[in-house]
Structure 1
Amino acid sequence: MSEIASTLAAWLKLLGQAGAGVPAPSFANAAAPEQQEVLIGALAALAAEALANDRTLTIVTADDGLLPEISNALDLSLRPLCLVLPGADHARPIALRATLSLLKSRLSRAAADSQGPIWTAQRERLRHADALWRNSLAWATRNLRDEAPPAGIFALFPVRIGPWQVIQQTAMPTDWAVLLQCGRLPAQPASPWPGARHTLRLSWGGEKTQGIALTDETAQLAAEIELLGQELAELELELATAQGELAAFSARYHALVAGRIVHLDRLQAELAAARLERTPQDAAQAQATQEARARADRSQREYEAGRCLPEEEQAQPFAPDIDLKKRFRQLAQKIHPDRARDEADRAWRTQLMSEANRAYRAGDAAALERVLARWLAGSNADAQSVGGAVLPAPSFARRQGLIAQRDAIRQRIAAIGAELDQLYGSKLYELFAAARLAERQGRDLLAEMAQRLDRQIAQAESELAAFTA
């Protein structure tokens, strides 16, 4: 058994998952693994175990220092169910809005990564809290800096992770509470965390981390951007995945259905014109003929526009594996244009991000590695350009640059949310969702549509032949 697995097994015994007939303490102490990698892996595994057993989990840290690592370690398919709350007042609503957008998107996509008992339980949770869910989405959409989130919003997420000064203010009931006790976490009494059924306090003497709650404003902003950059990368991955899925479906729709619609619309326009020739004084038929011609012209334009799809967009389903998703997310965290220092840096990052998106959409892991290599080479060149000189003390200009980065990330998170809403509200996506549901029932909706169109085309051709006979 791996060290992470054995650590998880020990924790579960202390949290009431030891098996039937084994009493569980309401409060327990344990030593956390000294290695940070093992600790982070076990915490992520505990989150997955809690969700699998329909338990709510609260992980309380000393500060924000470990939050980026915990967030990265969480299972990608479960990440939208885990709310990671930074301690900084400016960062917290941004992270909350990002997670709401991610959860809403995953529910709307209804793909394989949002299926199964865990997601069924989440849908049931949101059904019971429908008013709160809708109010929370409306709050996220408004994106007003000074508007507080709806009361009780944290209850929408079965896993909550954050520093003690934030978590203790939520006062949310939880099945399991894990307190990561180190030098910076105030001493807690030997009693359960407020509202928790079972509390596990972990004493950790590992490396000291620095979180967002720092006295130096520049360091605080840099740590804040690091955490928000991960939220942004999660959303960029979600957007790229949704766009890739829809583009692949659109290509197949174009190949199977759109051309048939053009043919049928043109036949119906010809039929309407033939009927008008027989009754030229019929005003209603004249109107019907005009509408049929307009419909045929419109479907032809849409068909021609669809033929301009990029070469890499194929009619095969877009189904990136978990490794490709992780690579793209990791790369987006590093190279995102909104983390640029200046305009030249932004231009370079924008080019790399475009290449990364193309590689991800093509399912090309090697191309993603090449983008990463270019990024690392450029980063090393920047580091060498300072010649080993001691970096200057934080300046006003530096702080203003970091504030601009944070605001750019905030705006991009809001923009992705709006773009996802627009995508999911399109007629094409509605058809895609219907096709996905039909596929789970063993049906091919586009093939069925093509067969139905073929029958309509045959009937229209027969009617037109009768008119011209």
Structure 2
Amino acid sequence: MNRMSEISSTLAAWLKLLGQASAGVRAPSFANAAAPEQQEILIGALAALAAEALACDRSLTIVTADDGLLPDISNALDLHLRPLCLVLPGADHARPIALRATLSLLKSRLSRTAADSQGPVWTAQRERLRHADALWRMSLAWVARNLRDEAPPAGIFALFPVRIAPWQAIQHTAMPTDWVVLMQDGRLPAQLCSPWPGARHTLLLSWAGGKTQGIVLTDETAQLSAQIELLGQELAELELELATAQGELAAFGARYQMLVAARIVRLDRLLAELAAARLECTPQDAAKVQAAQEARARADQSQREYEAGRCRPEGEQTQSFAPDIELKKRFRQLAQKIHPDRAANEAERAWRTQLMSEANRAYRAGDAVALERIFALWRAGPGAAAGVAVPKPPSFARRQGLIAQRDAIRQRIAAIGAELDRLYGSKLYELFAAARLAERQGRDLLSEMAQRLDRQIAQAESELAALIKG
């Protein structure tokens, strides 16, 4: 059932309560409202409130009782706005992993400067980071070091306009906040059910009759499962970001090869022939000997680079890579489910690795049908073909497996961050960024380069013909 109208009306009611303070009144406002009984409406309205806060340039803090609702809230957030929303688990050992992941995602989105990081919301974020430049740089250095026991820089949460976390993870941060939403379901301490320190407007959502909303985490294994689910979503966001950046660069690289690199090879070959022809006229001229050697070396180097660039995956296209929002959502959802770092054993890891590789290829090809086929394979399970039912491991083994998954996710998040840094530091990406900027100005940078090379090629051909004729 489509709940959009109910979500919209819930959001409107919340916004009215959050804005109820009279103009000029400095005292923080506090309002109480009944939470929606249906979890789908609650989660949708919270995600919509996050989008509204960003659109209005308001800071928002959503305080939950524990980690139970965090995966659903995270998954409901707008895909384009997700890097601006910090979703933190309550556990000390899981919190830095989520924080590093979101910082890496934000850094990547800012570096890509694509359509999904444009507009007033992102302009405001860039201005926010400009004012907090020292903190932003310290935070990125903290991510790069990836030391398990190193605490993040003080005040790091302020880099994000939207923060969503259990009360124990955020109650001592003392951040000025425009809006705070407290979710009281019987587990949020009573002393917190009051105006939030540093907040302009606080909204307390409570459940009628003390009814508990969402998942209640009753034991350590359940808590670990919720943390892994959230961290798995953080990892899927980064996998999507990496796949998108790689797809964009691969498509640009293919077009660069066709329009520019092939012409560079031809020009360098002509310049080498021209230098050799000039040397033939005065073979004892040391300067011309050196010039001919250098020209030949450049021609050989450009030929090698061109050949290396031609070694592309089968089916690589020269059109711009621009996956639609639905394809992105489906890939992210699939990556959450099948990621190899969520495997319980090596056999399952191998199966998941194969599925993940196929999912990446399908996403790069824009093949939504192939992604659905991979989803079907996932649902069938690794033992489906042989009709083998895999028994659930005992609780202790499952707990140990979840801890191993958490550690593997942490390592993969760090690896993706390093790979994104390498990609954005490449010369090809620098050219891609320049081409993207030129495109916004109505120019085609690669076509301009190709035309300039054509003129240089024509001039070199003319000079060579004149030397040979003379």
TM-score interval, normalised by the smaller of the two chains: over 0.9
Contact 1:16 1:23 survives alignment (8 Å): no
Query: Quick check: 1:250 aligned with 2:253?
Result: yes
The residue identity in structure 1 corresponding to 2:285 is: D
Query: Quick check: 1:142 aligned with 2:145?
Result: yes
What does residue 182 of structure 1 align with? 185
What does residue 394 of structure 1 align with? 395
Return the alpha-carbon distance in structure 2 between the equivalents of residues 274 and 126 of structure 1. Answer: 57
What does residue 330 of structure 1 align with? 333
Query: Quick check: 1:293 aligned with 2:296?
Result: yes
Distance 1:21 1:171, change over 3 A: closer
Distance 1:417 1:276, change over 3 A: same
* Correspondence 1:450-469 to 2 at 5 A: 450-469=450-469
What does residue 98 of structure 2 align with? 95
Report the CA distance between 1:169 and its aligned residue: 1.7
Distance 1:144 1:36, change over 3 A: same
Instruction: Describe the superposition over 1:353-401 as per-residue Cα deviations: whole angstroms up to 9, x where unpaired.
Output: 01100110111111100000001011684998558x7x56422x43332
What does residue 439 of structure 2 align with? 439
Contact 1:139 1:149 survives alignment (8 Å): yes
Structure 2: 5+ residue stretches without partners: none
The residue identity in structure 2 corresponding to 1:335 is: I
Name the SS for the 1:169 alignment partner. coil
What does residue 176 of structure 2 align with? 173
Name the SS for the 2:183 alignment partner. strand
Contact 1:13 1:24 survives alignment (8 Å): no
Contact 2:362 2:370 survives alignment (8 Å): yes
Distance 1:44 1:384, change over 3 A: farther
What does residue 404 of structure 2 align with? 404
Instruction: Describe the superposition over 1:41-96 as per-residue Cα deviations: whole angstroms up to 9, x where unpaired.
Output: 00000000000000000000000100000000000000000000110111100100
Instruction: Describe the superposition over 1:93-142 as per-residue Cα deviations: whole angstroms up to 9, x where unpaired.
Output: 01000000000000000000000000000000000111110110010000
What does residue 351 of structure 2 align with? 348
Instruction: Describe the superposition over 1:296-331 as per-residue Cα deviations: whole angstroms up to 9, x where unpaired.
Output: 111111111222212321011111111100100000
Contact 1:335 1:349 survives alignment (8 Å): yes
In the alignment of these two chains, the number of paired residues is 463
What does residue 156 of structure 2 align with? 153
What does residue 198 of structure 2 align with? 195
Query: Quick check: 1:378 aligned with 2:371?
Result: no
What does residue 223 of structure 2 align with? 220
Structure 1: 5+ residue stretches without partners: none
Report the CA distance between 1:20 and its aligned residue: 8.6
Contact 1:43 1:70 survives alignment (8 Å): yes
Query: Quick check: 1:274 aligned with 2:280?
Result: no
Report the CA distance between 1:25 and its aligned residue: 7.0
Query: Quick check: 1:130 aligned with 2:136?
Result: no
The residue identity in structure 2 corresponding to 1:277 is: E
Return the alpha-carbon distance in structure 2 between the equivalents of residues 225 and 190 of structure 1. Answer: 29
Superposition RMSD in Å: 2.2
Report the CA distance between 1:436 and its aligned residue: 0.4
What does residue 108 of structure 1 align with? 111
Contact 1:27 1:190 survives alignment (8 Å): no
Return the alpha-carbon distance in structure 1 between the equivalents of residues 433 and 20 of structure 2. Answer: 38
TM-score, normalization by structure 2: 0.94
What does residue 231 of structure 1 align with? 234
Contact 2:100 2:143 survives alignment (8 Å): yes
